[in-house]
Structure formats: C-alpha cells, structure tokens
Homo-oligomer: A and B are copies of this chain.
Amino acid sequence: MSKTDPHSSEPRRRRSPEERPRQIIQAALEVFEERGLSGARLEDIARRAGIAKGTIYLYFPNKEELFSEVIRQTVIARLDIAQLQIDSPTGTVTEQVRAYTASWWEFLCTPEFQTVHRLVHGELHRFPELVRFYVSNVVSRSHALIGRLLQRGVDSGEFRALDVPSVSRIVSSLLITNAVWACKMAAFRPEALTPRDQVFEQVNDFLLAAVRAQTPQPVDAGTSSAAVPPHHFTSL
C-alpha cells in the first residue's frame, strides 16, 4: 500500500539485489529528514525501503552506523559531482565565481543537503568521529575550492588583496546559511518570500562587492597595506 515502487510486479523479495544499501540509505535519509536521528524508527526506514526490519541489519550493524553512512554517501557523492563542474574555469574570475557559487548553491538547496545540514548541526556532536569526517571532507574541501577561486582573483587583480583562508570560510558560511534559510522559508511561507534564485543573486552581489578590487586608487595600495599585521588581509 505504501510501497514506493508501484511498478514493480515482483512478489516482494529480491527486488534489487545489489541496490539494497543504496535503497536503505535513501529511505533512511527521508525518514531522518522528517524525524531526526533519534526520532527515526528503524521500522519506518524499512517500510519506506520496501524491506523488512531485519534486512537493514544485514547491511548496517546498527542505527548509528546507518546514520553515518547516510551522511557520508549523500554529501560526498554530491561534492564530487559539484567539483567536476567547477574545475574547468572559463571567463573572468568574477564570472567563474558566479558559475561556481551558482552550482554550489544548487547543491546546497537540494533536500539531501538540507537534511544532512540539519542532522549535522542537531545530532552530529554525539559522533565525534563523524564530525571529524564531516569537517575534513565537506567543510574544509568546500573552503579550499572557494579559496582557489579567490586566489585567482587576487592574482589577476580582479579582487583586492584578501586573507584567502578567512574569506573562503566567510564566503562558504554565506552560501550555506542563506541557502538553508531560503529553503526553510520557501517551505514555510511559500507565498510571500523572496524566491530562491533571487536570494542567490543578492548573496552573490554581496560577496563580490566584498572582494572586488576598488575601482580607483591603484597608487596607494602597496604602501598602506604594509602597516597591517601580516596575518590579516590588508586590502588592495
């Protein structure tokens, strides 16, 4: 009745022999999204995956490991895809940034990422190992990619002199938080809010404004920056 696979005529068993893990992870993601980690009942996940409760334990030793895998699979898979679209730059750095953040924004707005983000913030801190994994593989990686773009802009003179690591982190935070908010709002008050794409443009404008080189004074740039402590960006 509630089976997800209406067009399958197989008599229940052996639906997709090697797809099981993916099937389960997908179902788990959905249930975790709706109820959080501790609120999700294994039985619901099983039902949603169209399998029996016990079957989950053939592939995952327990609920927590299943949770870990959900986080891992979902984010990493998407990150790889996103990265591919990014690694071949075209146009000015400003254009590259726009292309990159647009693609990234797209990902951040997927239900998968939204869910993972909530889980990460709400329940991950009980899993220190997972936190470490997440920080290295998602957060740092994302910062690094942005850092590469920013550095290019600084090198080409399109951007002002930046403390690339900190600005990368800040830009990252900007994208993530605003994507989450935009989606949450969209879900809450679908009628009255700034559409997702428009929010993106606002964010993009904001961050470009923050990093672009100041139009005029090429003259003083070098001198004034010298007076500033080394580990801060000194503009120009």
Interface check A216, CB cutoff 8 A: yes
CB closest residue in chain B, given A124: B122
Cβ contact of A170, chosen from B36, B203, B228, cutoff 8 A: B203
Per-residue B-contact encoding for A172-186, CB less than 8 Å = 1, 0 else: 011011100100000
> Are B170 and A178 in contact (CB-based, < 8 A)?
yes
A197 in the interface (beta carbon within 8 A): no
Which of A125, A163, A176, A194 has most B Cβ within 10 Å? A125
B235-A224 in contact (CB<8A): yes
- Chain A interface category by residue count: 35 or more
Note all chain B residues with C-beta closer than 8 A to A80.
none
Q: Which residues of B contact A222 (CB under 8 A)?
A: 220, 224
In the complex, what's the smallest C-beta–C-beta distance from A24 to chain B, in angstroms?
A: 15
Contact A199 B230 (CB under 8 A): no
**Do B166 and A202 touch across chains, with their CB atoms under 8 A apart?**
yes
Bound CA–CA A121/B36 (angstroms): 11
Which residues of chain B are near A123, meaning CB under 8 Å? Answer: 36, 122
- Interface residue A234 (Cβ < 8 Å from any Cβ of B): yes
When chains A and B are docked, how far (Å) is the Cα of A121 from the Cα of B178? 14
- B125 near A202 (CB under 8 angstroms)? no
Q: A54: CB under 8 A from chain B?
A: no
